[in-house]
Amino acid sequence: MKRIAILTRDCAGVNAAIRAVVRTAAHYKMEVMGIQRGYQGLIEGDVIKLGHRSVSGIINLGGTVLKTARSKRFLTEEGQKQGVKTLKDNDIEGLIVIGGNGSLTAAHILAAKYAIRVIGVPATIDNDINGIDLSIGADTAVNVALDALDKIRDTAISLERIFVVEVMGRDCGYIALRVALAGGCEDVILPEKDFDINRMCEEITEGNVSGKVSWIITVAEGKAKAADIAKQITKGTGLETREVVLGHIQRGGRPTALDRILAARMGAQAIELLKNGETDKCVGLKNDEFFTVSLGKAIKTKDIKVDSYYKLIKVLT
């Protein structure tokens, strides 16, 4: 394989993965093209050459130096064919897609429908890639959210207030659950679990009577809006409750060491897989061992186990 391309979505650690792909490819004397602005750039032929030096100084940067975009056009057959044409016109023999569910779904289409050799590298703060323990970006997102939560706790304690903090994760409660445990939250509202606002209000009222004066509840965006929960708590308890939505700050920022290491190893492994003739697969890493998951399986809904974490959060409250 002489020439490959990379296409990315953004989150912390993606640049470290780009660097690993480019430099591992250079090690094997393979050329790398960078597709800018994701699948939109693929359709429009927005392709640049990436050499060893062009990825200098990016290991610590958030986002993606290749830029990215959501592409409605790639959902159409016309858009897909145009994307395949860009690959052919540029003599690209293999593609590495670094991203989350949407990016890997499109990668699977390219592999399964158009016989393009594609390897996926899981990178999403949602950590919702099926079969993959930890995706690039999730650890940074949890740490960014935790840092914010620690700051909110300062005010929660000082003013004896209740805070409802909404974190990202689309339909997956990974960030909410991890942050709730690491941040010592009193409760967490997750897409994977039913919750009862009346029970929550009762617990807060009972706690309040026995002298507990501040609460932080984490809510995953896919389950409820922090503003609605805050309103319901105020109504149910009569206590002042504020909401905070952390939003996109969770997707950016300097990648943690864990994300950089994951990115370096998975990016390099993606090249090994392409070299070995593999396609339509996503790179996985568990207990320091590589494995693969078919892209078709990786894009299915991930069943995250929340019960033991949730139980512990409540025990430690």
Active site residues: 126
Find the shortest distance in angstroms from Cβ 124 to ligand F6P. Answer: 5
3-state DSSP assignment of residue 4: strand
Q: Tell which residue, 70, 58, 64, has the closest CA to residue 11.
A: 64
**Binding residues with ligand F6P: total (CB under 6 A):** 10
C-alpha distances in angstroms, 114 versus 49, 80, 82?
Answer: 24, 9, 11
Number of residues that this document lists for the chain:
317
| 108 versus 251: smaller Cβ distance to ligand F6P | 251
**Residue choice 124, 143, 256, 279 for contact with ligand F6P (CB under 6 A):** 124
85: CB partners within 8 A, 6+ apart: none
| Binding segment (CB under 6 A) for ligand F6P, from list 84-92, 123-131, 196-204, 302-310 | 123-131
Which residues from 245-304 bind ligand F6P, rule CB under 6 A?
251
Contact code string over 207-236 relative to ligand F6P, x by CB under 6 A: --------------x---------------
Which residues from 167-206 bind ligand F6P, rule CB under 6 A?
168-170
DSSP 46: -
132: left (phi over 0), alpha (psi -120 to 50) or beta: beta
| Binding segment (CB under 6 A) for ligand F6P, from list 122-130, 207-215, 258-266, 283-291 | 122-130
List 244's β-bridge partners, or say none. 165
| 169 versus 253: smaller Cβ distance to ligand F6P | 169
- Provide the token pair at 39: 């699948």
Find the shortest distance in angstroms from Cβ 145 to ligand F6P. Answer: 11
3-state DSSP assignment of residue 274: helix
| 3 versus 170: smaller Cβ distance to ligand F6P | 170
Residue-wise DSSP of 166-184: EE--TT--HHHHHHHHHTT
For residue 96, the surrounding DSSP H or E stretch is strand 94-99
Residue nearest ligand F6P, Cβ-based: 168
126 binds ligand F6P (CB under 6 A): yes
Binding site for ligand F6P (CB under 6 A): 70, 100, 124-126, 168-170, 221, 251
